[in-house]
Structures are given as structure tokens and as C-alpha cells.
Chains A and B, each alone.
Chain A
Amino acid sequence: MLLKFMEVWSYLQAPVVAYLFWKLAKRNVIGDLIAGTIIGAYIEFATEPLWDYHFIITAYKDIPPGIVLGWGIMFTTAVFVSEKLYMLLFKQKQILPYDKRIFITDVIAAPMVGLPLEKIGLWTGVWDYHYELLNWSGITIPVFGMPLEALVGYGLLMMVAPTFVRYWQKGFEGR
């Protein structure tokens, strides 16, 4: 039942998040969602053998479309949090172009946004890791109780991917 609910939610979350951002932050995040979903398609295709998904509707092998869309939500939220942290920590009104300090807040936003989402997915049985293939160290992150490698992976991903989201967000909105 919980898995069914999560599968339905995986499709609802994109319009709900877009609406909430529009209503509460007066921000159009359609471009962020599209850019994040493109990154999600790449990540899921490239790492498909390393995890199992348990939804009914799948697009490629066991990858459900809702998971790829979920990356859109993750990046939209992480980029938003990173931007707020940047403005707070570096006392700026907006992100300065080519300011490398954005890498710091992007990497901080990764565990703040990515790890709770990752944990929810594991708890609810939406996915599980292929530990025998991953051969991870066994070290877990305090509080989250998740493998350290998940944190490192999110950190590295957040070094690269937010640039794509920020650069193309307006372009994908047709602005």
C-alpha cells in the first residue's frame, strides 16, 4: 500500500512542487525541473545495474519514470537551498557569475536535500542498493544511518550538475 502511494506520489510531486514554489516563493521552477529530470535520466541510465526499483510502471529495465522526475524535484530544491545558503553565508543578494563559492553551498545542499530523499526512498522500499556489487566500506553517516559513499556520491554530483540546472533553467522555460 505504501509503495502504491509512493508510486502515485512520484508523478504528483512535480506539479505539487512547481505549484508550491510558485505560490510560496513566487518562482517559476519549470526550467529547473526539466533540467534536473534530464540529469536524472542520465544518472539512472548510467547506474541502472547498481540499484533495484519496485514500482509497477517502468521505462527502461526496472527504472520508473517517476524516479527520473524525482531527480528534477531534488535538483530544483537543492539549487534553491544552495542559493539561499550562498546569499546568507556570503552576504549577497544574488549569485555572482563565476563565483566558485557556489560549489561550497552546492555541496552543503546535497546532504540537506539529497540524503533525506534518499533515506525516504530506502525506507519506503521504493529502491534498494545492490550492496554486493557496490562493495561499499560499511561506514555509515551519523543520524542518517546511510553509507558514507552515498554522501560522497551526492557531493560529487552536486559539484557538477547544478551548473547545468542554473544555466538552462530560463532557456527551458522559453525565457
Chain B
Amino acid sequence: MLLKIMEIWSYVQLPLCWLLFKRFARRNVLGEMIAGTIIGIFWEYSTEALWNYNFSFNIFKDIPPGVPLGWGVMFTLAVFLSEKLYFLFFSQTQGKPRDKRIFITDLISAVIIGLPFEKLGLITGVWTYNYEILNWSPSRIPVFDMPYEVMIGYSLLMLIAPTFVRYWQSSFE
């Protein structure tokens, strides 16, 4: 039953997230969502063998459409948070082009946004890791109780992907 709710939610989250951003932040995040979903498609396709998804409707092997769409929501939130942290930490009112300090806030927001999402997916059984293939170390992240490799993976991804989201967001709208 919980898995069914999560499957429905995986599609509902997109318009809901867009609406909430529009209502409370006066921001159109359609471009961020499209850019984030493109990254999600690449990511899920290239790492398909490493995890299992448990939804009933899939597009490629066991990958459900709701998962790449979820990356769209994740990147929208992470890029938004990173931007706010950047303003706060570096006393800026808008992002300076090619300011490398944005990597710092991107990494922080990866942990703040990405890890709870990842944990939620695991707890609710949306996905499971293929531990026997991944061969990860037994070290766990405190509080989240998740493998360290997840955090490193998120951090490396967040070094690269937000540039794509920020660069193309307006254009995709």
C-alpha cells in the first residue's frame, strides 16, 4: 500500500513542487525540473544495474518514469537551497557568474536535500541497493545510517549537475 502511494506521489510531486515554488517563492521552476529530469535519465540509465526499483510501471528495465522525474524535483530543491546558502554565507544578493564558491554550497545542499530523499526511498521500499555488486565499505553516515559511498556519490554529482540546471533553466522555460 505504501509503495502504491509512493508510486502515485512520484508523479504528483512534480506539479505540486512547481505550484509551491510559484506560490511561496514566486519562482517558475519548470526549467530546473526539465534540466534535472534530463540528468536523472542519464544517471538512471548508466547505473541501472546497481539498484532495483519496485514500482509497477517501468520504462527501461526496472526504471519507473517517476524516478527520473524525482531527480528533477531533487535538483530543483538542491539548486534553490544552494543559492540561498550562497547568498547567506557570502553576503551576495545574486550569483556571480563563475564564482567557484558555489561548489561549496552545492555540496552542502547535496547532503541536506539528497540524503533525506535517498533515505526515504530506501525506507519505503521504492528502491534497494545491489550491495553484492556495489561492494561498498561498511562505514555508515551518522544520523542517516547510510553508506558513505552514497554521500560521496551525491557530492560528486552535485559538483557537476547544478551547472547544467542553472545554465539551461531559463532557456527550458
Enumerate chain A interface residues (CB-CB to B < 8 A).
Answer: 38-39, 41-43, 45-47, 49-50, 61, 98, 100, 133-135, 152-153, 156-157, 159-161, 163-164, 167-168, 170-171
B42 touches A45 (CB 8 A): no
Partner of A164, one of B41, B43, B160: B160
* Bound CA span A100–B153, Å: 28
List the 5 closest A-B pairs by CB distance, nearest first: A42-B156, A156-B42, A171-B98, A98-B171, A163-B164
Known: A133-B49, A160-B39. 10 other contacts (CB 8 A): A39-B160, A42-B160, A45-B153, A46-B43, A46-B153, A134-B49, A160-B161, A163-B168, A168-B98, A170-B98
CB distance from A1 to the nearest CB of B (A): 31
**In the bound complex, do residue A164 and residue B163 qualify as a contact, i.e. CB atoms below 8 Å apart?**
yes
Question: Which residue on B lies nearest to A170, using beta carbons?
Answer: B98
User: Which residues of B does A touch, CB under 8 Å?
Assistant: 38-39, 41-43, 45-47, 49-50, 61, 98, 100, 133-135, 152-153, 156-157, 159-161, 163-164, 167-168, 170-171
| Tally of contacts, chain A with chain B, CB under 8 A | 73
Contact residue among A100, A135, A163 (Cβ-Cβ distance under 8 Å from B163): A163
Residue from B45, B156, B170, B171 in contact with A156 in the complex, judged by beta carbons closer than 8 Å: B45
User: Bound state CA distance, A47 and B160, in angstroms?
Assistant: 16
Q: B153's closest neighbor in chain A, by CB?
A: A46
B172 to A: closest C-beta gap in Å? 8
- A47: chain B residues within 8 A (beta carbon): 46-47, 50
In the bound complex, how far is the Cα of B45 from the Cα of A76, in angstroms? Answer: 24
Which of B100, B167, B170 has its CB near the most chain A CB atoms (within 10 A)?
B167
